[in-house]
Amino acid sequence: MQLVHFSVELEFDERTQSHTPAHKVFSALGGKTPKIQPREPGANIRREKQKIIINWQYEKCVIGLEKTEDPIECMRIMTQLMETIDNVAPIGKLRSTNIVTEWILPAPQHDFASLNELYMRTMISPKEFMQGTYDSSVILDNEIDDFIIHHQSGPMMQKQLLEQYLVY
């Protein structure tokens, strides 16, 4: 299997979210603190050469890496980027943290129909009502201590994979 996408999403706790420029202007000119955070564009950065996507917003920060097959290197890059962000916009308390990995098991010897048939035969107990099924996936959610592990697998056509899961 090949690791093709690795991302970390940090959702900031409401009490530790930074006051953005829009919030400060609203407070200064409006005479009071707004009840909700004014929307702003945030920081959307693409480093195409390194295949990195950074999306910093008031509510959360998402950092994604593509085409990096070494999970240890992914964590090193993530840590470095989060330290840089924390130096200029302190992260503070978090409401949640999500780590998402996308893996591909290439099967060039199959077209989609034969790959789906093989996947269903291997992963799903066949039932009569499934005879006309043309697409399938298996979703598992496991709670381990304070973590929820969400696993979803299924066959995909290359076009769907590229459009749905990868930016670069």
The CATH number of 1-102, from 3.40.50, 3.30.1040, 3.30.310, 2.60.40, is 3.30.310
Give yes or no for residue 63 having a pLDDT over 70. yes
Give yes or no for residue 78 having a pLDDT over 80. yes
For residue 64, the surrounding DSSP H or E stretch is strand 60-66
CB 94 within 8 Å of CB 11: yes
Please give the model's pTM, rounded to 2 decimal places.
0.73
Share of the chain above pLDDT 90, in %: 17
Q: Give residue limits of the domains in the chain.
A: 1-102, 105-168
Q: Residue range 135-139: average pLDDT?
A: 79
- pLDDT at position 20 is 66
Report the sign of the C-alpha dihedral through residues 131, 132, 138, 141, in that order. Answer: negative
Residues 6+ apart with CB under 8 A from 28: none
